[in-house]
Every structure is written in structure tokens, then in C-alpha cells.
A and B are shown apart, each in its own frame.
Chain A
Amino acid sequence: MKAIRILIRGIRDAFKSVIRNFSLSTAAITCSSITLVLVAVAMIISYNVKNITSELEQELTIVVYMKETGTEEHIEEMKKNLDTMKESGNVADYKYKSKDEWKLEMKTYSDTFNTALEFLETNPLLDSFMVTVKDVSHLKETTEEIRKYESVSSADYGEGMAENLVIAFDVIEKVTIIIVLALVLVTAFLIGNTIKLTIFSRKNEIEIMRLVGASNISIRLPFLFEGLFLGILGSIIPILVTIYGYVLLYDHFNGYLFTQIIQLAEPFNFILYVSGLLLIIGAIIGMLGSYRAVRKYLKI
């Protein structure tokens, strides 16, 4: 019962303090709102970049052409090799396409192809495999590994461009994550500062509480709740901005940004997830910021 009373008193005092120090609270809420909006933007960019990268990565395939002299046995052997690589190597999956299938497919492309292929007695095309990989960063090594097989004529992927794109997106993703972390720290610092000022304004009260034997937890609790409230209040505007802003952006661009390649992530449930995360970040850093201030300035 006593613990519950201390808890209720903590919440009540925190509310009182937020209202009593209205201008200070407003300043803290505004500052954390601004930084959390930036956190939200960085999170949205980071998620979308990740989304685009993973889609691009799925598209990346190694095209393996078998030698012209290859026989059925060679193809079976290659299938076995790829199966082994699938089990213990970097191969995610592969598709076999015989030269006859290629021929049929090419015939449908245009009449010229059709006539040319009909004219030839033998099929000049090659048997092939479309290989997808598990880890794109080892795409090059996997390609080289495949090239080593004798029956393979060539193995290629979009060398250069594919790698550069993956590297670029990787850098963007890392930078946005660093920005998110930095902004989270800034918010914690701002809320901590506000709590520090309210601690100063209530210095006498705290001193008397200590002298009459209030436990540390009952002195700290109101400040921790105050940080929590400020954090939660500071995350409301960023949440609204995220939900309405992202839906508007998505609708405005019809889900694509600049080109058809860059596809935006579906708004739902993605923005709900971002909003939830903002609320949690706001609440936790509010508490952490005030915990730090309380520890430093209460000396208890």
C-alpha cells in the first residue's frame, strides 16, 4: 500500500511540476518534438533505403552459361555442384534454363529472331543457370567460384554497377542510423536539462524531503515521471507528422520516388511501427535524461 501511495504521489507531483513549470516544460516538449521529427524522418529514410536495397539485392543474379560442348551429364554435375553450394555455400537458389527453352523464348521476342533461329540448323544458344545468392556482399567470390568449374563458359553479374549501388545504399543506411542515434542523445540531453532546472527550482523542497527521511525512490520518482511525461508529450507531434506526412508523400508520388526503381515502403503498418517506436524512444529517453539529471544533482 505504501509503495502504491508513493507511486501515486510521484505521478501527481510530476503532473503538478509539468504544469507549474509550464514555460520550461513547453520548451523541453518543443525541443524534443523537433528532434523526434528529425528522428522520424531519419528512420523513414533508413527503412526505405533498407527496403530498396533488399529489393535490389533480390534482383541480383549470376547468369551462368555452360560451354557449347556441354552434355547432359555436365548439366547434371553442375546442378549437383550448385546444390552443394546451396547447402553450405552462398547460393540461395538457382534456375536451369536449357538452350531449347532460350530458343523458344527468343522466338517470341521478334520475328527477326524467329526467322534467324529457324534458318540455323543447330541451336547456337547455350544452356544456362540463373543463380541467386544469400549474401550480396560475397557476390563476386561466389561468381568466381562458379567460374572455376570446367563445364562453365562464363558467369556474370552486373559487375561494378550492382556493387556501387549496394555500397551507396549501405552508406546511406549507416549514416541515417548514426543520425538517429545522435538525435536521440540530443533529445535525452534536452529533457535532462529541463529536469535539472526543475530540480533547482525545487531544491528546498528536496532538501526538506531528505531531512525528514523521505526515501531516495520517493524523491526521485516524481522527476522520473516528469521526464516520462515530457518525453511522451514531445513524441505526439512527431507521431502525427509521421502518420499524415508519410501518407501524403506516398499518395503524392504514387508509391514511387523519382523513378520506378525507388519504391517507397507501404504506409501501413510501417508508419504505425515508426510511431510506436517514437513513443517508446520519447518515453525512454525522457526517463533516462531525468534519471541522469537526478543522479547528478540530487546527490542521493
Chain B
Amino acid sequence: MNLIEVKNCYKVYNNGVTAIADLNLAIARGEFVFVIGASGSGKSTLIKMLYREEKPTNGKVFVGGINVAKLRNSKVFKLRRKLGIVFQDFKLLPKLTVYENVAFALEAIGLHSKEIRPKVIKALENVGLKDKMRSFPNQLSGGEQQRVCIARSIVNEPKLLICDEPTGNLDPDISREIVSILDKINKEFGTTIIMATHDRDIVNKMKKRVILLENGVLASDEKKGSYVVHESH
């Protein structure tokens, strides 16, 4: 069964820019998918629609059976609890320790501290940061900060992990390390992973499904694809 289904989806911003045009997509449970494309191709818009930061102008976007196009603002939290989001800029709280940053995601949804502790420790173990749980973000390297962000996004054991250019701010070695952690999460827990990226090496090396967007239109969708982007400008 498909975890994500995008049907005849359009997204036109208020300024008249069409970011997505007649997009049709289906992503099954447990898949690892790269979304590639030049700047302005609609990658970020697609990613943002999946966690309902943006609403499609037309068409349907189903995530785990929820049509995000019809999801009201007040119900968005129900969707977000089912997925994890990893950002390029990590979005960590500087005044909280690594442990507190990860625990924050569970506290925010009202879990008891007794339930929180084992989940946080397990998530930190999965990204190899258990020994740094008392550190503050500014005491960590960029790669470590991104691992904290991943730990926070998987602590709630989501079925879907959405990564918006997670290696955009990292050097190639660290980027490979981050992607191998994501790959491990995908294989061990069966978490579906969608990753928007510009990183040619990683896409070519991983041999995963690659979705290419060009000017908001699906240009190609290959099972074991490689990074081929026709820069439009």
C-alpha cells in the first residue's frame, strides 16, 4: 500500500508563480526516495506539502491516508505526529542540551517524563550520540547537530521521515555519514524516507529511487536512478 499519493497536484503561489504542475506520484511504505531538481524546480514545495507547511492549490496529496489538501490548520498536528522532519539548518534550540532537544519533541506532544527517557536514549543511540547527550548544540560539529535533528525526528518512531536538504550545510564525508544513518533507519525500522537534495555524489552512490522535478513537473522517476539535472538557468 502506498504511504504517499500525489494526484493531479498543482501549487500556485499568491504571486502567480507555479511551483508544482499536474504532479502524480506514489511512494510505497519502506521506500527511500531522492527528490532532485534545480533551484526553483518545486522540490521544496513538494516536501513542504507533505508536512502541510504548504497547501496544494488543486489536486490531492495523501500522506498516510490523510488528504493534506483538506487538513485544517487546527488538525495539522495530527499529521505531524506521524512523521519526522529533518532540516538543512537543524532547527535545534541553543539553550537546551542534546537530550533536552530530543526530549522536547515528546514533551510537546504531552508524553510523561518516564516514557520520554528510554525513547530519547534509544534515538540518540541510533544516531551514535548517546555520549554527547549533555552537550549543548554549540559544542557540537555540524554533522553532530544534524544527527541530533535526526534523533529528534525519529524519537517518535514515525512511519515517514521527510528530509529537506539535510546535507546542504555539511562537507562530503559528513554528508555520507548522515545519509548512511538515514539508510540504516530505512532498513532497520522500515521507515519511508523522502530526501530532497542537491548532492550528486550521494544520489549516484546510493542507487535508490530518484524523482526529478523540472519547473514543477515530474521529469523522470527511476527505480535505481542517478543524478541528472538539466539546469534551467
Contacts and interface: CB of A to CB of B under 8 A. Distances in A.
Contact of A213 (B74, B81, B91): B81
B38 interface: no
Given A212-B80, A300-B73, A2 B105 contact: no
B136 to A, nearest CB: 15
A216 interface: yes
A100 interface: no
A9 B111 CA distance: 11
A2 B112 CA distance: 8
A300 B152 CA distance: 22
A210 interface: yes
Contact of B108 (A1, A2, A212, A299): A212
A204 interface: yes
Given A211-B85, A212-B80, A300-B74, A5 B108 contact: no
Interface string B108-120: 1111100000000
A261 interface: no
Interface residues of A, number: 21
A213 B77 contact: yes
A212 B152 contact: yes
Given A212-B152, A213-B78, A213-B81, A204 B108 contact: no
B22 interface: no
Contact of A214 (B77, B91, B93, B152): B77
- Name the residue among A6, A204, A212 with the largest chain B CB count within 10 angstroms: A212
B107 interface: yes
- Name the residue among B74, B77, B93, B152 with the largest chain A CB count within 10 angstroms: B77
Interface of A: 1-3, 5-6, 9, 204-205, 207-216, 218, 299-300
Given A210-B80, A212-B156, A213-B156, 17 more contacts: A1-B112, A2-B110, A3-B110, A5-B110, A6-B110, A204-B91, A205-B93, A207-B91, A208-B105, A208-B108, A209-B108, A211-B51, A212-B81, A214-B108, A215-B77, A215-B110, A216-B73
